Structure 1
Amino acid sequence: MTWLTVADLAVILGLKKQTIYNRLSSSPETLPPATRVPKLRGPRWSLRIVQEWQARFDPSERSGVPRRPGRPTKAEEVARRLKKSAG
């Protein structure tokens, strides 16, 4: 079995190493469960467990929850103003 280090986990999750360390100490529930492996320094993660953890938070699974619209683009603002002044 291959164990992932903090650096490996940071690459997979798209975070910095320091962010991983910060979350381990302040809010470990925001990370996959870590394991202490004898004769290895620091926390380690199983790749399978990390992939399963990520699958639970897949944004494509959030069907039925509509996204709130963001700030309109300049083009949308101009079109709205033109429509308002013409009509």
Structure 2
Amino acid sequence: MYITELKNLIEPLICQDNNELYYEIRQLPETKAGGIDLLVMCSEEVFGYVVGKAGLIANSLRTLLNIRGQVDHNKVNIKFEVI
């Protein structure tokens, strides 16, 4: 559920006419805290579009998914990584 919503938020940021999307989203195993951990892995060319300058877009994505997570009483953590 959260992966689909995150994918819907990321695709417009990096979608270009003739380029493929070079990213993957995985859900990490649950921890003791009980939150949902997501890992966004993307290529170097796309990383800047997904994270944004000074991490502004990444923080916005975290905020939006945490708002969505409050409906289900979940805390959503998102980590970004370059492949």
Name the TM-score, length of structure 2 as normaliser. 0.25
Q: Which has the higher contact order (CA 8 A, sep 6+)?
A: 2
More helix as a share of residues: 1
Instruction: Please identify which structure carries the higher strand content.
Output: 2
Structure with the greater alpha carbon radius of gyration: 1
Calculate the TM-score normalised by the size of structure 1: 0.24
